[in-house]
């Protein structure tokens, strides 16, 4: 049983400057509600310790017993003695990190934010390089913004995994790629994490003529020395928008060059699997599509550790669609509908639709690859398709009774595209209902067939979204962007 006690401090000091972390929500039925905590109350200390950020909070809350000091809205301070066995208290704070975000101090030659057009919402230009977001949201960080104390806290709290945007293990080249004279020295932080046994994942944003070829081979060789704590490394081609005036002159990979990158990676996969039982280094789905090659078999993805980087999404989707169609037979229904996606994944979606049409001949599904005029035609992923491009290219096309769009086209948690066009505006412009399709192959099949799906367990949601192939970078969810 949970034992809780609290004492009220009688003194009030309305003039005292309020420090701490303001509570924005209290979960119904939670320990916090039992303690009569309310939105607007301020957490001051736990066990006498001021709380620096969310990791401090989680560390101190995960205790068999704790004493928490809270300032109520009327200025009265409460001391709450809680024996909770490490249970979640049910508190949400106004600032999710419980501290300010750390902005990026680099000027990377591949940064997608530097390739954004002017006039968009302010949050789309925010660059973070915050190690805490690596654990909370899966962001990849360069390590250049981390102090020794940050590394010590990660080791102390044993936070894992940490996702590292490596790019190259050549210190001089890394300094040039990140335009930061400390970027090479920052690689030494990987040694400390390795020695402490902290699980890591790595990322290489591949830039033609810069960190490919012999430099890529060096990077793979160096990072493989951190096995087994460095669990995986993804290689993704740089995304290039049309807004690159004054930026480093980068060029896209062609089909032959993408094939050469894959050959190098697959040779290392074979060698590392024989030595360590892990394939470790993975080429993104986009590289396979650029090279016109089939995706690797499922076993080669080592459990899909790099889905958020566009590694294995197509293979997993293929497996899930096949599983979702097993045991289904024609229901006799007839419907005409449509799907829009990016140019790059369209061929794979057409394969899935062919499987559905074969079993359900009454379904007429139009698939429309959307050319990205907003960012430039070299951007071919679904996650960067804008509302205005959708409207312009789908007007007058047969759309049927509804239009399906992948969730990754929308701002996280909202129904707004990157260009601030809303789902409602698209519906009104095209005169068709728009259905947003969630993550998995099961979601895709259910959406096409118009089937209801029971609410899945939270564990069913992975860190990927339908066709969310982002050229190695998250396309700017609010208040986050990693390089």
Give the integer Cα–Cα distance in Å for 29 and 229.
39
Average pLDDT, the chain: 84
pLDDT digits over 240-267, tens only?
Answer: 999 999 999 999 999 999 999 999 999 9
Quick one: pLDDT band at residue 150, thresholds 50, 70, 90?
A: confident
Average pLDDT over residues 115-138: 60
**Number of residues in the chain:** 483
pLDDT at 462: 34
Question: Measured between alpha carbons, how far is 72 from 91 in angstroms, rounded to an integer?
Answer: 14
pLDDT at 481 over 80: no
pLDDT tens-digit series, residues 12-68: 444 344 578 888 999 998 888 888 999 999 999 888 888 877 767 777 787 778 888
CB distance 81 to 6 below 8 Å: yes
**In angstroms, how far is the first alpha carbon of the chain from the final one?**
46
- 127 pLDDT above the threshold of 50: yes
Instruction: Please tell me the distance from the alpha carbon of residue 54 to that of residue 99, in angstroms, as a whole number.
Output: 8
Tens-digit pLDDT profile for residues 434-462:
999 987 999 999 999 998 754 443 333 33
143, pLDDT greater than 50? yes
**pLDDT number for residue 12:** 45
Phi and psi at residue 348, to the nearest 5°: -75, -40
Check pLDDT > 80 for residue 335: yes
Task: Give which of 126, 149, 3, 142 is closest to 64, Cα–Cα.
Answer: 3
Q: Domains of the chain (ranges plus CATH)? A: 3-93 (2.30.42.10), 113-310 (3.80.30), 318-460 (3.40.50)
What gap in Å lies between CA 471 and CA 285, rounded to an integer?
A: 10
Residue given tokens 């069913």 in the structure block = 460
Q: Residue 132: its pLDDT value, please?
A: 47
Say what the pTM is.
Answer: 0.76
Predicted pLDDT of residue 85? 64
The full DSSP string for 251-307 is ----HHHHHHHHHHHHHHHHHHHHHHS---EEE-HHHHHHHT-PPPPGGGGTTTTTG
Q: Read off the pLDDT of residues 71-118 as tens digits, 9 standing for 90 and up.
A: 998 889 999 888 866 678 888 888 766 566 556 677 899 888 888 888
* Residue 397 vs residue 93, higher pLDDT: 397
Predicted local distance difference test score (pLDDT) of residue 13: 45
């Amino acid at each position: 049983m949970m034992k809780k006690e609290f004492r009220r401090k009688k003194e009030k000091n309305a003039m005292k400057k309020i420090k701490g972390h303001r509570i924005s929500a209290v979960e119904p039925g939670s320990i916090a509600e039992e303690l009569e905590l309310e939105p607007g109350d301020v957490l001051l200390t736990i066990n006498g310790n001021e709380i620096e950020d969310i990791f401090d909070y989680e560390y101190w809350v995960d205790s068999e017993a704790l004493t928490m000091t809270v300032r109520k809205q009327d200025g009265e301070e409460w001391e709450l003695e809680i024996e909770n066995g490490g249970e979640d208290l049910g508190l949400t704070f106004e600032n999710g990190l419980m501290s300010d975000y750390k902005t990026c101090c680099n000027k990377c030659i591949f940064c997608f934010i530097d390739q954004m057009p002017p006039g968009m919402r302010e949050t789309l230009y925010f660059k973070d390089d915050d190690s805490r977001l690596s654990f909370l949201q899966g962001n990849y960080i360069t390590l250049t913004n981390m102090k020794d104390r940050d590394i010590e806290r990660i080791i102390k709290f044993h936070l894992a995994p940490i996702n590292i945007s490596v790019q190259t293990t050549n210190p001089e080249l890394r300094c040039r790629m990140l335009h930061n004279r400390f970027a090479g020295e920052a690689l030494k932080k990987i040694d400390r994490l390795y020695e402490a046994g902290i699980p890591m994942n790595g990322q290489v944003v591949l830039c033609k003529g810069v960190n490919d070829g012999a430099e890529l081979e060096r990077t793979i060789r160096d990072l493989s020395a951190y096995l087994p704590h460095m669990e995986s490394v993804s290689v993704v081609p740089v995304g290039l928008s049309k807004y690159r005036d004054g930026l480093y002159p980068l060029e896209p990979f062609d089909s032959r060059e993408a094939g050469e990158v894959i050959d190098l990676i697959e040779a290392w996969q074979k060698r590392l699997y024989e030595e360590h039982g892990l394939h470790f280094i993975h080429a993104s789905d986009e590289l396979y599509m650029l090279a016109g090659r089939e995706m690797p078999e499922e076993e080669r993805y080592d459990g899909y550790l790099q889905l958020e980087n566009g590694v294995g999404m197509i293979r997993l989707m293929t497996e899930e669609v096949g599983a979702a169609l097993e045991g289904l037979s024609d229901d006799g229904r007839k419907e005409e509908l449509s799907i829009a996606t990016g140019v790059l994944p369209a061929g794979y979606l057409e394969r899935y639709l062919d499987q559905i049409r074969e079993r359900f001949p009454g379904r007429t599904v139009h698939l429309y690859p959307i050319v990205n005029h907003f960012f430039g035609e070299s951007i071919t992923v679904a996650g960067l398709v804008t509302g205005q491009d959708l409207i312009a290219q789908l007007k007058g096309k047969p759309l049927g009774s509804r239009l399906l769009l992948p969730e990754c086209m929308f701002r996280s948690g909202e129904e707004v595209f990157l260009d601030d066009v809303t789902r409602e505006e698209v519906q009104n412009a095209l005169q068709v209902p728009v259905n947003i399709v969630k993550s998995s192959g099961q979601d895709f099949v259910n959406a096409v067939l118009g089937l209801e799906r029971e609410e899945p367990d939270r564990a069913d949601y992975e860190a990927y979204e339908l066709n969310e192939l982002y050229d190695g970078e998250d396309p700017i969810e609010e208040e986050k962007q990693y390089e």
